[in-house]
Amino acid sequence: MKICRRQLYNWRVGGLIPYFKMGKAVRFRVTDVAAAIERMRVA
């Protein structure tokens, strides 16, 4: 998915997308990112 890191960070901080941490690394599920994009979609 072509989403920049900064956008994912903004969504994470804003509580729009769930994430989990493995050590210092922050990870996102592709399905969660896709679901967030669908929720933000304007018809």
Residues 17-34 have pLDDT tens digits of 999 999 999 999 999 999
Helix then strand count (H, E) for the chain reads 2, 2
pLDDT of residue 28: 92
pLDDT of residue 3: 84
Q: Is the pLDDT of residue 1 over 90?
A: no
Please tell me whether residue 11 adopts helix, strand or coil conformation.
helix
Tell me the whole-structure pTM to 2 decimals.
0.72
Q: What mean pLDDT value characterizes the chain?
A: 90
pLDDT of residue 2: 83
Q: How many residues does the chain have?
A: 43
